[in-house]
Amino acid sequence: MGKDKLRKFAEVATFANVVQLDAGKAYKGQWASKFFKNNNPVVLELACGKGEYTVNLAKLFPQKNFLGIDYKGNRIWRGAKTAIEESIDNVGFLRIQIETILEQFAPGEVDEIWITFPDPQPQDSREKKRLTNPNFLARYKEILKEGGVMHLKTDNDGFYAYTVEQIENLKLNKIKETTDLYNSDLVDEVLSIKTYYERKYLADNKNINYVQWSF
């Protein structure tokens, strides 16, 4: 690990708005009351990287709690630092492998889940790592409350097609979809939030895919 990454990794451990690994289990079923100290809805951003959705959604919706989840501490550092500097209290970050999410959240605890530009894992042998494979979808279904909504934004057309195929195979409720968000009438203040990776893809004139569904 480079010097800067190491520094951020050490610093992130001191942030009050970051929970790491097994420490998250203490909040299971109590993220709103124990971590955010309120009774507001809990929204997750999976594969949050630097946490642009987490931070910007929190500014738009002060009556909800937002938790960014990723396993890279040096990326989480950016979003957590911004939230501290700007005194945004309805933001937290959880550094875990998303595979362990059932250890960290109780059934029905989560109101909404965003997945932002996940690694597409195109090789067949990596399907088990794709964040929208049926095993991951089953976990999200368990922690979401009844009617809770999922959102996926991705530049990767193959990953998008794979996800829509899972939604259709499992007969889930597809609510909105577009393969070209910025040339669609879906785009609004929320869907125009741009992540670090999204900006890179847009600079290359890549179309952005978006699908919203519930279980």
Which residues form the interface with ligand SAM (CB under 6 A)? 47-50, 70-72, 75, 97-99, 116-119, 195-198
Given a contact cutoff of 8 angstroms between Cβ atoms, the answer to whether 67 and 60 are in contact is no
Tokens 């738009």 locate to 60
Nearer to ligand SAM, 47 or 164 (CB): 47
Would you please indicate which residues are annotated as catalytic (active-site) residues? 119
Phi, psi of 26 (to 5 degrees): -65, -20
Contact status, residue 114 vs residue 46, Cβ threshold 8 Å: yes
Least separation in angstroms between CB 33 and ligand SAM: 25
Please write down the long-range contacts of 33-39, taking CB distance under 8 Å and 24 or more positions apart. Answer: 35/65, 35/92, 36/65, 36/89, 36/90, 36/92, 38/65
Nearer to ligand SAM, 104 or 178 (CB): 104
Q: Using CA atoms of 34, 118, 56, 164 in order, give the dihedral in degrees to the nearest 10.
A: -100
> Which residue's CB atom is positioned nearest to ligand SAM?
49
Rounded-to-integer distance, Cα 91 and Cα 64, Å: 9
Nearer to ligand SAM, 40 or 194 (CB): 194
Helix (H) or strand (E) holding 175: strand 173-178
Please give the DSSP secondary-structure letter assigned to residue 41.
-
- C-alpha span between 58 and 66 (Å, rounded): 6
